[in-house]
Amino acid sequence: MSAKKENPILRAQKSYQELTSVARTLNKASDQLAKVIAPLDDALKALNLGIASWVSFNQCSDDNEDYAYDQVGYCKVGGKWGIALRSVSGNYNWPDDTNVDGPWLFNEAPRKLRIEAIDRIPELLEALVKNAEDTVDRINEKLHESEELAKAISVRANSKEKSQEEAPLIE
């Protein structure tokens, strides 16, 4: 005796009803995750770093030189700085054909990426520290060079003004 097959329409209705319930739970959990990340995002914005940093995860490659990885970072997206996510894929033999999905601000990224990125937040903060320290060093190097350049131009400009003051006026 074979089991009676359930009507596909009834199955679809039942599945949709279950999906509706799960979606509410999923959205609540996702909203909670967003609330947890928001203070960290605000704290980083308040620092006014103005530098981007990225940390890779979910890295994979194959024998054909294809690769893919996801990244969590801090960057400017749509004119707004924040914690962001992106997915990168390509082939090592064709670097100009790299595909980048994103970046998305954290709360706008696919949920799967958000969940996987949470564990990488400490690494992102460490990368931001390193990048900020390197940026300070580069600024200080350029500051010294800029001071020397400004001094040289200032001396030249002052000597030119003096030579023009000393020259007789021709009428």
Query: Given pLDDT bands bounded at 50, 70 and 90, which one contains residue 81?
Result: very high
Residue 33 inside a domain? The answer is yes
Q: What is the pLDDT of residue 55?
A: 98
Q: What is the DSSP letter of 5?
A: P
Residue 81 inside a domain? The answer is yes
Please give the tally of structural domains in the chain. 1
Give me the domain span that covers residue 19.
Answer: 15-161
Q: CB of 60 within 8 A of CB of 69? A: yes
Note the pLDDT tens digit of each residue in 91-133.
999 988 999 999 999 999 999 999 999 999 999 999 999 999 9
Q: What is the DSSP letter of 153?
A: H
pTM comes to 0.77
Record the tokens describing residue 100, joined without a space. 């980048």
Percent of the chain whose predicted confidence (pLDDT) is above 70: 89
Listed residue (112, 97, 27, 40) closest to 65, CA to CA: 97
Output 167 or 153, whichever has higher pLDDT: 153
End-to-end CA separation in angstroms for the chain: 122
Q: Is residue 122 reached through a cis peptide bond, with omega within 30 degrees of 0 on the bond before it? A: no
Rounded distance between C-alpha atoms, residue 6 and residue 13, angstroms: 12
Rounded distance between C-alpha atoms, residue 8 and residue 19, angstroms: 16
Residue 115 inside a domain? The answer is yes
Q: What is the pLDDT of residue 163?
A: 60
Residue 67 inside a domain? The answer is yes
Q: What is the pLDDT of residue 83?
A: 97
Q: CB of 114 within 8 A of CB of 106? A: yes
Rounded distance between C-alpha atoms, residue 1 and residue 98, angstroms: 57
Residue 10 inside a domain? The answer is no
For the range 41-50, what are the long-range contacts, defined as Cβ-Cβ under 8 Å and sequence gap of 24 or more? 41/82, 41/83, 41/106, 44/74, 44/81, 44/82, 44/83, 44/128, 45/81, 45/82, 49/74, 49/81, 49/128, 49/132, 50/81
Query: Given pLDDT bands bounded at 50, 70 and 90, which one contains residue 161?
Result: low
Q: What is the pLDDT of residue 154?
A: 81
Residue 79 inside a domain? The answer is yes
Q: What is the pLDDT of residue 103?
A: 98
Report the SS3 class of residue 66.
strand
Note the pLDDT tens digit of each residue in 21-42.
999 999 999 999 999 999 999 9
Residue 168 inside a domain? The answer is no
Q: What is the pLDDT of residue 6?
A: 82
How many CB atoms neighbour CB 67 within 10 A?
Answer: 15
